[in-house]
Amino acid sequence: MPPLAHYPATPVDASSSPSVRLAAVTRTEPLHEPSADRAHDLALDGLRGLAVLLVYLFHYGGGLKSSHLIGRLFGQFSAAGWVGVELFFVLSAFLITGILWDSIHDPHSRHRLRNFYARRILRIFPLYYATLAICAVVMLAMGHNFQEVRGLYLYVFFLQDLPKLATAAQQVPTLPLYHFWSLAVEEQFYILWPFLLFAFRTRQATIRLCLATFFVSVAFCVTIFGMRHTFSGQTAHDLSGFLVTHMGAFALGALAAILLREPFHFNLAPYARAAFFAGVALFAFSSWLCHSFTLTPRLQFCIGLPAVWLASAATIPLVLHPGLPRRLCSLAPLRFLGRISYGFYVFHLLLQGLFDTIGSHVTHADSGSYYQFIRLVAGFPITLAVSWVSFQLFEFPFLKLKRFFPMRSTIPTA
């Protein structure tokens, strides 16, 4: 597993919201942005923005230690910012499952899988492979030989999260790429999940699939991380970024997508509220047992991680239902950040060297709370600006090509 401060975030397509009739929001005017083939719920952009903000604070503030009480508390609580990546996993599964489910049950839908994978490619591949190309050029410019550059193949084929290969991927001497393991997890999910949905098809069978996937993932975590005498610390390290370790998050996100579709006409919000607080309480209890909010302790994988999945999945119905969570996630700054979250995710660690230089120049040091604070404050607007330029000039032209690969919903809106 990467060092704690390198726990990554995972981007989610900013334009992936499905058109769906949600029982929880039919009584109010939904915050929707029309698109060519479905409604785009802007509050989910805000939730995505909150997730990437948590990850940014985790990476640049999670290790903060200070003699001041406020600084110490900020450092301790931002150490829990890794939950943002699990929220990304849950939200990604929710959106992708909704799109696929609507398409599967639309008798007029054509080329479902082709269009789905084309849209995923247009969203993820251009910036991803452009980043790898830049890293290769930088490595050659720094004097690395072609043999060392070949180490990037692990990233080219999304293999960087697999056991044994994850350690090799982290040793590639280049710009920071350790956060890309989560992209590999996402891509593997994108490959497998559509075929499973096509195989199960019915609502009850899909619900059972989601629940079974969740419990298999929990059992896997308990087995690998909980049985210290059976599985070594190195084995746990190798499997910490594995798809099976995190697929419980995808399972609950997918389950939320199914439950929020007809013919379920009951309001999920009260149940989601109870599940959210239960997940938060269980995570707090696990962190208390581990004396840490981080994911490093093995016990946290057994208790805290599933608790975060539960709370993250419960957040989605709450955001889609009228109330305070929806109002917060509908704030323009969070929606803006969510819209460019993919680029923000990629660049906020790639630019780490620049932030280190700024921190050293301002503080005349390369460590300490003041140094970390400067990196935190300076890095955010720079990453924001670079991500916005990337989205407007590079990513958006590819996203416009999605119109040639429509994924339409058959479920009428309210």
Confidence of residue 408 (pLDDT cuts 50, 70, 90): low
Q: Which residues of 9-20 are buried (b: 16+ CB within 10 A; e: fewer)?
A: bbbbbbbbbbbb
Phi, psi of 67 (to 5 degrees): -75, -15
Residue 199: the pLDDT is: 92
214 HSE (CA, 13 A, CB side): 24
pLDDT in tens, 129-156: 999 999 999 888 888 888 788 889 999 9
Q: Whole-angstrom Cα distance, residue 38 to residue 322?
A: 21
CA nearest 343: which of 127, 54, 95, 174?
127
Residue 366: the pLDDT is: 87
Confidence of residue 265 (pLDDT cuts 50, 70, 90): low
Confidence of residue 194 (pLDDT cuts 50, 70, 90): very high
Question: What's the CA angle centered on 251, arms 101 and 190, to 5 degrees?
Answer: 60
Q: Is the pLDDT of residue 263 over 70?
A: no
Q: Is the pLDDT of residue 15 over 70?
A: no
Q: Report percent pLDDT > 90 for the chain.
A: 63
pLDDT in tens, 306-319: 999 999 999 999 99
As a whole number, mean pLDDT of residues 237-241 equals 89
Confidence of residue 237 (pLDDT cuts 50, 70, 90): confident
Q: Is the pLDDT of residue 360 over 80?
A: yes
Phi, psi of 39 (to 5 degrees): -80, 145
- Angstrom CA distances, 242 to 1, 189, 238, 321, stand at 9, 11, 8, 33
Confidence of residue 264 (pLDDT cuts 50, 70, 90): low
Residue 266: the pLDDT is: 62
Residue 222: the pLDDT is: 95
Residue 164: the pLDDT is: 80
Tokens matching residue 355: 């932030």
Q: Are 89 and 48 in contact (CB under 8 A)?
A: no
Confidence of residue 1 (pLDDT cuts 50, 70, 90): very low
Residue 209: the pLDDT is: 97
Q: Whole-angstrom Cα distance, residue 152 to residue 147?
A: 10
Of 131 and 166, the structure prediction assigns the larger pLDDT to 131
Q: Which residues of 177-201 are buried (b: 16+ CB within 10 A; e: fewer)?
A: bbbbbbbbbbbbbbeebbeebeebe
Tokens matching residue 216: 């298999």
The amino acid at 94: F
Q: Is the pLDDT of residue 7 over 90?
A: no
Residue 39: the pLDDT is: 54
Residue 166: the pLDDT is: 78
Question: What's the CA angle centered on 379, arms 377 and 383, to 5 degrees?
Answer: 135
Confidence of residue 172 (pLDDT cuts 50, 70, 90): confident
Whether omega before 263 lies within 30 degrees of 0, making that bond cis, reads yes
Q: Whole-angstrom Cα distance, residue 277 to residue 210?
A: 21
As a whole number, mean pLDDT of residues 99-117 equals 86
Q: Is the pLDDT of residue 20 over 90?
A: no
Residue 249: the pLDDT is: 98
Q: Is the pLDDT of residue 89 over 90?
A: yes
Residue 269: the pLDDT is: 81
**Averaged pLDDT score across all residues of the chain:** 86
Residue 370: the pLDDT is: 87
Highest averaged pLDDT of the listed ranges 17-26, 362-371, 402-411: 362-371
